[in-house]
Structure 1
């Protein structure tokens, strides 16, 4: 449970877990602040609370003293370039120690020195520091308190510094550190002077200790299981919905930070999500983790909850989505979940306002206590889990770049087009690229109205295999004659099968899949428009060996740009045959019981959930494709069709001299 695993006992973590997921580095936490801010005092408190089994604690100055011959006195006499060398050696030593021991390190250090009267400070943070630290906590103690501590410190002699200069020093360190951390993939947060400072530091450090992308996904998956458990065993369909600008026009993250800014809690432009996600972190796992730290900095739990309530009161869900979700709530076989990269607590309150909080669960983060963050990869992984592990029929609804992977994994993808002034400005080009190059099949909808019946229907009742055939057509009667004539064998029979493949491709497949125009040179010397199969180059023709080869070659004659694959068993179809492809044509001469075709379809679906599959055959047994278990098995897979030259009531299975494969290759005499 996310809430139960946020703050585990230290002895539950292992050395293997104490790694930063983004770069597989040891977890090394920098503890920064101007001299006199209390770094050493806090470090000693952390030693007492965390112990030394899974944690190592270092005073930066003591580590320098340990590696420099002659200690700190010798170090102080060195030139700045020589000092930089020993600082780098000190942090390298800490890193090696932690990689070897698997411990999490907490290291105090100085970012810059700035004597009063000098125009600017002198940074002492090295490139090795930035390459080593995975997290940095900054002791943000009021300058007045720091000045008083420096005066009261009898153990060391420090120069007098004015409160004004200390404040300027702190602001400069915080500004530079926040920028550098985002450029070097380091999570950064303030620790403000507060009676609960130690408790907050412990909570953050324990979270840093075990949190990784793998752990993050497992927590999100746990939350998904909780959302499904009430209907387990009855569910057939799950609706996975993005929240902001999908089920409502508003962006709740933007509303939240507007309220923070209006109440003067926002100290600088760097503490906004817009600035964060436009930094080098982008929309990475670490970026969303950094967003959580920003929310933690902004308000304590009670204040945060009040802000979320204020934001939720300003959100109005689209009435059509509210209506759809209430209809879903009345069904035992359909469930809806909100999966949001935004604030879970806001959307919990929005759903509560609409009377939906008991039936629609929110999977999202925003606070350390939530246990995980939702990224684009998490959204896609949850849809994949629903589809593959739970065998659910998944509808996905989204509006932005962060939803594209999720949409691509779903059986049905709906791109919600909201109000023009709020919709994503970067989505159009990315959406077209996903459709043209990544195989995404999606439809745009202003609001969910035209497909409500499809969402709510029982899959077992609704699912029906699309079958197209030419049994009663004159062309079919002519084409099937040599196929049934016992005197046709070898090359002549293969040619007959080839002609059938070409006919089915031009007569049926062109309609099932669709055509696209392209520019051609006209024989009269000008350019005109021609037609070819829709995304012909992203079509794979699979000849089911050996009976399907001749017919598959005929299909290839009609679609010369398509990929051609031979397959004697389902495992002959590899992932690279499907990657980037939009359509797969499984070609066999006869579909009798249909078991072979079902095995191929199931194998393909395990590799690629949404590719269009069309089974092409000369003869299909009627019961198998219309009402039998094979028809039902194929119908359970979305976007599967069957095209046949003729449908036969005959259940005869050829053997020896009557086997189609033997007739095609003149092997009827073989046992």
Structure 2
């Protein structure tokens, strides 16, 4: 607050409320309240008056700090000057609480002219007048970064107010202290902070910035990201089935655009000690939050005007060299209509658009990213994940995601197929190793990795993180494959199925009795349907009458691997094994339990589960198998399969991309039900319902 400026800039009367009537609003979400700070004489009142004509009075209220202090202090400013410092701070806190209350009541956003501190030149230290309640209330702080020489001139020529003479050197020192302290405090209190200097100096530019402050929010940001993705999908494209979502920095190339940008700033004229601020920002308490990325945008705005920013981006782009394997893959995608590639980056959109343009990819590979206010949005780790979910659940598309760092993990986990780009040890993310290991241990996340360049050391070993090559023809074929209807055989309406399914659905049947039922179902499905899918081969047997005769068994039965998906699939898998006694048998709880050695020389793999509900687990197993064996026949055997998993929806489309995949089930069900506790099939099979 500024106790020397007494004009109320919105020209509304402020009643002299007694101290006892000031009440902190309790039923209001945090409104947008913008502090306009700067040295005394830097032009806050002038700016406030100009903003009144630039901004709508329906959306904004304008406050001079000392006028509000006068309104909450019995006796006004004259009495305020006679109070103790403790009492003055109490009045300042009541003043900002009043502003917040009025914003909650009217729905307006506030712009409040105030001060961080006062520092008479004869005093060794200044006096901070910014209160804890100010820091709890402000959502944004704009600091008028006017050169000390101009401030001294403004103070000297101020005809409305007599100001004490202060040296330019003292004003400069005072200003540096305020900017440093406010930047630190704002990060600690989740407040967006920016300097109003030459790039933001015009009233129109400042008005645009303030309007953006009023409207921008996490939901607004998410909606903008989804709108941009929708625009990309619908532009000159029809029948999209697969979307490749790629991170940019250290994924498309080893370089990081943000690091290169600030290195370029540091080498430019006028560079100061704070020319590499992103590391300090993201290592602050803001972390990698929405506020942190919004603050990063403001740092870019502070650094350059639009023309200089684009010139810097061009320079940075010239220093980035995309991985050739990724470039070649994207050129293949360019020739399709059903596959789209989108770069979703937390970094600088303009840099990566220029890099893609240089590689001849800008027409087909679009970029969703930020860096400037005109981009409209910021890309956070959660936005990356939300965009993947949007593609899957709203657009019903199959998503293949590429990323390299912890910022990409949520996106990778959400994707149908996740590929971790592993760079050289000297340049790749150090924190990724531990976080990736933790994520891999979580049930349901089974990424693969590609090392770029190809001499880089793989992460976590190739057992936990299987290795692929982007140049492998089978991988390319899987990426470019078109959706096809799944091959499904089932016995839903057959009399035999009705008999077999009855004890499976009977709540009174559990334990060994239920396991025996599942075993009989497995034998039935193997005999009736797997033989149709895989075929039979003849071999010689000794007939009971003593002569040689033809017998029949599963085609390549000795080269067949039966894999129960643990634990629910084991009893049914034993039944399949009864039908095909020469087949190999191997338990698997997660896809990585299947390795090259298990699939070597195999012609068919039969995956067995009691219930296939969403199909996500089956999809992960199929993806993993295809990553280590491109041609092996895959047959999924289940007691019950949810019908949409194999007929419609995103999972069905994803599974339909794979050749040589078939399904067989005792019945298809339209009821998508995930068992819990006493209804969980695994608990019923093994009498562990009491442990659920």
TM-score (norm 2): 0.70
Deviations 1:391-439 (A, max 9, x none): 1111000001111111111111000111221111111111111121253
Deviation at 1:587, TM superposition (A): 2.8
Deviations 1:551-583 (A, max 9, x none): 9xxxxxx99999xxxxxxxxxxxxxxxxxxxxx
SS of the counterpart of 1:339? strand
Deviation at 1:266, TM superposition (A): 3.7
Q: Check if 1:587 corresponds to 2:610.
A: yes
Deviation at 1:197, TM superposition (A): 2.5
Q: Which moved more, 1:125-134 or 1:152-161?
A: 152-161
In structure 2, C-alpha distance between the alignment counterparts of 1:646 and 1:210, rounded to whole Å: 55
Q: Check if 1:346 corresponds to 2:363.
A: no
* Pair 1:194–1:445, CA change in 2 (3 A): closer
Higher relative contact order (CA 8 A, sep 6+): 1
Choose which of 435, 449, 456 in structure 1 pairs with 2:471.
449
* Pair 1:34–1:319, CA change in 2 (3 A): same
Aligned to 1:572: none
* Pair 1:632–1:350, CA change in 2 (3 A): closer
* Pair 1:123–1:630, CA change in 2 (3 A): closer
Deviation at 1:53, TM superposition (A): 1.1
In structure 2, C-alpha distance between the alignment counterparts of 1:160 and 1:293, rounded to whole Å: 33
Aligned to 1:579: none
Deviation at 1:631, TM superposition (A): 10
Q: Is the 8 A contact 1:256 1:307 kept in 2?
A: yes
Q: Check if 1:498 corresponds to 2:515.
A: yes
Q: Is the 8 A contact 2:120 2:126 kept in 1?
A: yes
Q: Which moved more, 1:379-388 or 1:188-197?
A: 188-197
Q: Check if 1:172 corresponds to 2:177.
A: yes
Q: Check if 1:387 corresponds to 2:392.
A: yes
Q: Aligned-pair RMSD on alpha carbons?
A: 4.1
Aligned to 1:275: 280
In structure 1, C-alpha distance between the alignment counterparts of 2:303 and 2:649, rounded to whole Å: 55
Q: Which moved more, 1:239-248 or 1:218-227?
A: 218-227
In structure 2, C-alpha distance between the alignment counterparts of 1:159 and 1:493, rounded to whole Å: 90
Deviations 1:288-346 (A, max 9, x none): 00000000000001100000000000111011111111110011111101100000000
Q: Which moved more, 1:431-440 or 1:338-347?
A: 431-440
Q: Is the 8 A contact 1:271 1:294 kept in 2?
A: no
Q: Is the 8 A contact 1:410 1:610 kept in 2?
A: no
Deviation at 1:637, TM superposition (A): 4.6
Aligned to 1:288: 293
Aligned to 1:636: 653
In structure 1, C-alpha distance between the alignment counterparts of 2:247 and 2:511, rounded to whole Å: 52
SS of the counterpart of 2:344? strand
Deviations 1:110-142 (A, max 9, x none): 100111022221111000000000000000001
In structure 1, C-alpha distance between the alignment counterparts of 2:309 and 2:108, rounded to whole Å: 33
In structure 1, C-alpha distance between the alignment counterparts of 2:411 and 2:213, rounded to whole Å: 27
Q: Check if 1:255 corresponds to 2:264.
A: no
Q: Is the 8 A contact 2:564 2:587 kept in 1?
A: no
Choose which of 450, 458, 465 in structure 1 pairs with 2:482.
458
In structure 1, C-alpha distance between the alignment counterparts of 2:155 and 2:400, rounded to whole Å: 62
User: What does residue range 257-336 of structure 1 map to in structure 2 within 5 Å?
Assistant: 257-269=262-274, 272-336=277-341
Q: Is the 8 A contact 1:408 1:610 kept in 2?
A: no
5+ long unaligned stretches in structure 1: 1-22, 469-479, 510-532, 552-557, 563-583, 589-596, 648-671
In structure 2, C-alpha distance between the alignment counterparts of 1:237 and 1:159, rounded to whole Å: 68
5+ long unaligned stretches in structure 2: 1-27, 453-469, 491-496, 527-562, 576-585, 591-606, 623-634, 668-692
Deviation at 1:206, TM superposition (A): 0.7
SS of the counterpart of 2:287? coil
Deviation at 1:385, TM superposition (A): 1.1
SS of the counterpart of 1:340? strand
SS of the counterpart of 1:234? coil
In structure 1, C-alpha distance between the alignment counterparts of 2:509 and 2:145, rounded to whole Å: 86
* Pair 1:191–1:632, CA change in 2 (3 A): closer
* Pair 1:560–1:503, CA change in 2 (3 A): farther
Aligned to 1:361: 366
Q: Is the 8 A contact 1:231 1:332 kept in 2?
A: no
Aligned to 2:72: 67
Choose which of 207, 220, 227 in structure 2 pairs with 1:202.
207
Deviation at 1:496, TM superposition (A): 6.3
Aligned to 1:131: 136
Q: Is the 8 A contact 1:111 1:125 kept in 2?
A: yes
Aligned to 2:413: 408
Choose which of 193, 203, 217 in structure 1 pairs with 2:222.
217
In structure 2, C-alpha distance between the alignment counterparts of 1:493 and 1:405, rounded to whole Å: 38
TM-score (norm 1): 0.72
In structure 2, C-alpha distance between the alignment counterparts of 1:609 and 1:170, rounded to whole Å: 62
Q: Is the 8 A contact 1:464 1:632 kept in 2?
A: no
User: What does residue range 589-604 of structure 1 map to in structure 2 within 5 Å?
Assistant: 600-601=613-614
* Pair 1:120–1:247, CA change in 2 (3 A): same
In structure 2, C-alpha distance between the alignment counterparts of 1:105 and 1:265, rounded to whole Å: 34
SS of the counterpart of 2:36? strand
* Pair 1:329–1:209, CA change in 2 (3 A): same
SS of the counterpart of 2:135? helix
